[in-house]
Amino acid sequence: MLLRDIAHARTGDKGDRTTLSVIAMDARHFPLLEKMLTPERVRAQYEGLVQGAIDRYGLAQLGALNFVLHGALGGGVTRSLALDAHGKCLASGLLGLRLSDDEAAEARLPRVSP
**Domain ranges within the chain, ordered by starting residue:** 3-107
Task: Kindly tell me if the per-residue pLDDT of 113 is higher than 80.
Answer: no
**C-alpha span between 64 and 44 (Å, rounded):** 20
**For 27-35, what is the mean pLDDT?**
94
88: Cα separation from own chain's centroid = 11
Task: Kindly tell me if the per-residue pLDDT of 57 is higher than 50.
Answer: yes
Confidence band for 114, pLDDT divided at 50, 70 and 90: very low
**C-alpha span between 69 and 19 (Å, rounded):** 6
Q: What digits encode the pLDDT tens for the residues 62-99? A: 999 999 999 887 766 555 555 445 556 677 778 888 88
Fold of 3-107: Alpha-Beta Plaits (3.30.70)
